[in-house]
Structure 1
Amino acid sequence: MSTFKIEGGHQLKGEIQPQGAKNEALQILCAVLLTPEKVTIHNIPDIVDVNKLIKLLEKLGVKVNKLAHGSYTFQADEINLPYLKTEQFKIDGRGLRGSIMIVGPLLARFGQGFIPKPGGDKIGRRRLDTHFQGFINLGANFRYNREEHFYGVEADKLKGTYMLLDEASVTGTANIVMAAVLAEGTTTIYNAACEPYLQQLCKMLNRMGAKISGVGSNMLIIEGVDSLGGTEHTMLPDMIEIGSWIGLAAMTKSELTIKNVSWDDLGLIPNVFRKLGIIVERQGDDIHIPAHTDGYEIQSYIDGSILTVSDAPWPGFTPDLLSIVLVVATQARGSVLIHQKMFESRLFFVDKLIDMGAKIILCDPHRANVIGHDFKSSLKATTMTSPDIRAGISLLIAALSAKGTSTIHNIEQIDRGYERIDERLRAIGAKIERI
């Protein structure tokens, strides 16, 4: 188990380039299974979760060729379907949440898809019902082995239909879309997720020969086609990492420029940080954060009531950045209520921040009230353990702003979502060491 040793309290300065989007990568990589032709993908982040999925695809028989850093070709012309029924697949698939999205493409192209109950973050319950109910709606037979926690779907030929999703699940929508592109007839998906990463998937599938309309809305209409071809695709920058760097700049009173952020795909993210009093400047397609030497003040609502920041499906604020917002609020002027609606275990890391001197009242598993210090007292260095990817980066930002030397254990969680984070932080002046 690796550890970060962090000497906090230093101002940072410089430019940082966001990695490719983790959540887009997990969808896009699974889509290569839909065609026997070559697919070239650029800006793939070099992180644990994505690399695990690439290894899983290789074991499935996909030919993977690395062209350069972040650029690969994939060709799924000789798929090893018997691997899906091996004990090794049950181990490999269980170690990665994103592995669920191989099921839709396999079902569409080969008439069968299997997956063990996936692992991932300990952030609360994340149901798979939306995925499998969608496959059943398309005509697949579903079975579940309770003893081995193993899911399976099979169908001779999927048939298009109308469906209303019970929740606007991003991975659920992606999985159903990938299944429906090769189904017979027309599929309408209402209450579909419409995140930029899902839009990217739909645009890529259309370039491969799919017929998807309504991209960017919550109603997708898919006319099934017989087959898909190859394509080339470049992934968006990771909006969660961009938000993390905004929070880092504010907490360390640093002047940072975040390069090539794809502003038009950031949605509410810049405005939510502005509500915390952070100056977020647009410079072309870059974000510039000036040094907040006088701190930052949380806005209240126009009637004077306390600001609430809550998560919601796109175009609402992403739940993956609530942990960052919470940490940033610990040094603001004023108070804010953080309402984590979508996951019930994601706020439990606040006990570590309280140990560091933060003023936080955990109201219940979903809500925390943060009273900012206004930098009048720094957070204190401590030893902590990363419980999940986003809490891990939040604790790292807290440690970089704290006085003294902090230690963060279980940094494999951070590595799952952030590429070479220690090297990139050192390049802008952070005192961080991997042990």
Structure 2
Amino acid sequence: MNAFEIIGGKPLKGEIVPQGAKNEALQILSAVLLTEEKITISNIPDIKDVNKLIELLGSLGVIVNRLNKDTYEFEAKEINIDYFASDDFKQKGGGLRGSIMIVGPLLARFGKAAIPKPGGDKIGRRRLDTHFLGFEKLGAKFVYDAENHFFNVDATALKGAFLLLDEASVTGTANIVMAAVLAEGTTTIYNAACEPYLQQLCKMLNRMGAKITGIGSNLLTIEGVKKLGGTAHRMLPDMIEIGSFIGLAAMTGSEITIKDVCYNELGMIPSVFARLGVKMELRGDDIFIPAQSSYEIDTFIDGSILTISDAPWPGFTPDLLSIVLVTAIQAKGNVLIHQKMFESRLFFVDKLIDMGAQIILCDPHRATVIGLNKQTQLRGISMSSPDIRAGVSLLIAALSAQGKSTIFNIDQIERGYQDIEERLKTLGADIKRVDVLPSGH
């Protein structure tokens, strides 16, 4: 079993380039199924979840050419629809939560799709209702095969409709948009997600010949077209990585420059870290974070304890709450972290408490962090990563801690972060991959 062994407590220094956005990749890659023409996509992160989806596209019959480390060319000329019935598909599709994203494009272009019940993070329930309710409104019929855990969807004639989404789901909105671009008539999606990644998808589809208006708002209007053509697309840098590196710099007292961040697409991420007291400077399109010996959490105007919570975009992304929580451990002051969207994403705090953090877990959604103000260092321990974001939060804690930490289950981290060990080493981190027996953690 692979694990990371980390000797912490050392300040880091240098430049780091964020990878392409994982959450954008899963949508953009699925969109190649909407046309038989070539699509070139660059800045693709080399991570497990994305590579699994590329492999799945290849198994479906998409011609995949890797032009260089982060650029691929896709040509979905002939798709093998019978592949859905295979055990191979059940295995590949079931092991990847993002596999749900191929349903919309396949329905749009071929009128049918199937998907095994997806896997993914253990961070609480993630309903797929938004996807399927949307497809149904457009005229699709689906049957859940409980025995084989398969969703079978039939949509021989999709027609535009008015949709009011039950939640502003990013993947749900993306999937419905991809189904609607080739549907007959006009589709209106209200309470649509409007994350930068979804805006990227809509802009790409428009370059392919789709007619989508309202991009960047929660009201999208899609006029169906007969067919789509090829295009080239470059993905945004991963905003979750950028936030993770801001937190890392603060926790370890390091001077770090995060390169090419597409600052205008980061929303309120920089301002939330600024409220924790983290200083940063925009230099061109790079974020420079100076080494800070201490940083102080802001309060509300009336002096009460600051609350940081997640919300649909342009609110603060839930994927960074665990990073904010870890960053607050060594701040001066207190903060309440309120994770509204997922009910078990804060369950990793017991490991941080074992390291010496002062955290009160109020309930599955809320934790109060009492900052140590760098008066006491965390201590290294052995621990296991429960999900992608918690895994990186524990990694940041370990890099700031005194002594040796071992993190097991690093597959979870590597599902979302490309070459993380090598990139941290270039900053001076003492981290190495070891093969260990997972006893005692």
- How big is each residue's C-alpha offset from its partner over 1:144-171, in whole Å with a ceiling of 9 and x where there is no partner? 0112221011121100010100000000
The letter of the residue matching 2:52 is: K
Residue 236, structure 1, aligned to residue 236, structure 2: yes
Contact map agreement 1:187 1:224 (CA 8 A) in 2 = yes
Q: Give the Cα–Cα distance (whole angstroms) in 2 for the partners of residues 155 and 284 of structure 1.
A: 48
Q: Give the Cα–Cα distance (whole angstroms) in 1 for the partners of residues 283 and 411 of structure 2.
A: 34
Match of 2:289 in 1: 289
Helix, strand or coil: the match of 1:369? strand
Q: Give the Cα–Cα distance (whole angstroms) in 1 for the partners of residues 345 and 116 of structure 2.
A: 24
Q: TM-score, normalised by structure 1?
A: 0.99
The letter of the residue matching 1:273 is: F
Match of 1:129 in 2: 129
Q: Give the Cα–Cα distance (whole angstroms) in 2 for the partners of residues 385 and 195 of structure 1.
A: 31
Q: TM-score, normalised by structure 2?
A: 0.98
The letter of the residue matching 1:307 is: L
Q: CA deviation at 1:419?
A: 0.3
Q: CA deviation at 1:368?
A: 0.2
Helix, strand or coil: the match of 1:274? helix
- How big is each residue's C-alpha offset from its partner over 1:104-125, in whole Å with a ceiling of 9 and x where there is no partner? 0000000001101100000000
Greater mean alpha carbon deviation, residues 400-409 or residues 84-93: 84-93
Residue 40, structure 1, aligned to residue 40, structure 2: yes
Q: CA deviation at 1:142?
A: 1.2
> What pairs up with 1:29-68 in 2 under 5 angstroms?
29-68=29-68
Q: Give the Cα–Cα distance (whole angstroms) in 2 for the partners of residues 250 and 156 of structure 1.
A: 54
Match of 2:93 in 1: 93
Q: Give the Cα–Cα distance (whole angstroms) in 1 for the partners of residues 421 and 377 of structure 2.
A: 22
The letter of the residue matching 1:303 is: D
Match of 2:305 in 1: 306
Q: CA deviation at 1:86?
A: 1.1
Helix, strand or coil: the match of 1:39? strand
- Provide the identity percentage: 73
The letter of the residue matching 2:36 is: P
Residue 389, structure 1, aligned to residue 373, structure 2: no
Q: CA deviation at 1:413?
A: 0.4
Match of 2:428 in 1: 429
Gaps of 5+ in 2: 435-441
Q: Give the Cα–Cα distance (whole angstroms) in 2 for the partners of residues 16 and 352 of structure 1.
A: 27
Q: Give the Cα–Cα distance (whole angstroms) in 2 for the partners of residues 345 and 115 of structure 1.
A: 26
Residue 400, structure 1, aligned to residue 399, structure 2: yes
Q: Give the Cα–Cα distance (whole angstroms) in 2 for the partners of residues 105 and 314 of structure 1.
A: 24
Q: Give the Cα–Cα distance (whole angstroms) in 1 for the partners of residues 273 and 149 of structure 2.
A: 41
The letter of the residue matching 1:101 is: M
Residue 315, structure 1, aligned to residue 317, structure 2: no
The letter of the residue matching 1:145 is: D
Q: CA deviation at 1:321?
A: 0.2
Q: CA deviation at 1:331?
A: 0.5
- How big is each residue's C-alpha offset from its partner over 1:155-203, in whole Å with a ceiling of 9 and x where there is no partner? 2110001010000000000000000000000000000000000000000
Q: Give the Cα–Cα distance (whole angstroms) in 1 for the partners of residues 89 and 69 of structure 2.
A: 27
Match of 1:354 in 2: 353
Q: Give the Cα–Cα distance (whole angstroms) in 1 for the partners of residues 254 and 260 of structure 2.
A: 19
- How big is each residue's C-alpha offset from its partner over 1:240-297, in whole Å with a ceiling of 9 and x where there is no partner? 000000000000000000000000000000000000000021111110100002x100
Contact map agreement 1:360 1:370 (CA 8 A) in 2 = yes
Contact map agreement 1:273 1:280 (CA 8 A) in 2 = no
Q: Give the Cα–Cα distance (whole angstroms) in 1 for the partners of residues 280 and 104 of structure 2.
A: 39
Match of 2:103 in 1: 103
- How big is each residue's C-alpha offset from its partner over 1:192-235, in whole Å with a ceiling of 9 and x where there is no partner? 00000000000000000000000000000000000000000000
Match of 1:370 in 2: 369
Residue 164, structure 1, aligned to residue 172, structure 2: no
- How big is each residue's C-alpha offset from its partner over 1:27-76, in whole Å with a ceiling of 9 and x where there is no partner? 00000000000000000000000000000000000000000110000000
The letter of the residue matching 1:315 is: P
Match of 2:181 in 1: 181
Helix, strand or coil: the match of 1:309? strand
Q: Give the Cα–Cα distance (whole angstroms) in 2 for the partners of residues 290 and 280 of structure 1.
A: 7
Match of 1:247 in 2: 247
Match of 1:144 in 2: 144
Q: CA RMSD in A?
A: 0.5
Q: Give the Cα–Cα distance (whole angstroms) in 2 for the partners of residues 207 and 252 of structure 1.
A: 43
Q: Give the Cα–Cα distance (whole angstroms) in 2 for the partners of residues 147 and 192 of structure 1.
A: 33
Helix, strand or coil: the match of 1:174? helix
Match of 2:437 in 1: none
Contact map agreement 1:19 1:45 (CA 8 A) in 2 = yes
Q: Give the Cα–Cα distance (whole angstroms) in 2 for the partners of residues 84 and 33 of structure 1.
A: 15
Match of 2:210 in 1: 210
Q: Give the Cα–Cα distance (whole angstroms) in 2 for the partners of residues 280 and 335 of structure 1.
A: 21
Match of 1:21 in 2: 21
The letter of the residue matching 1:334 is: G
Match of 2:439 in 1: none
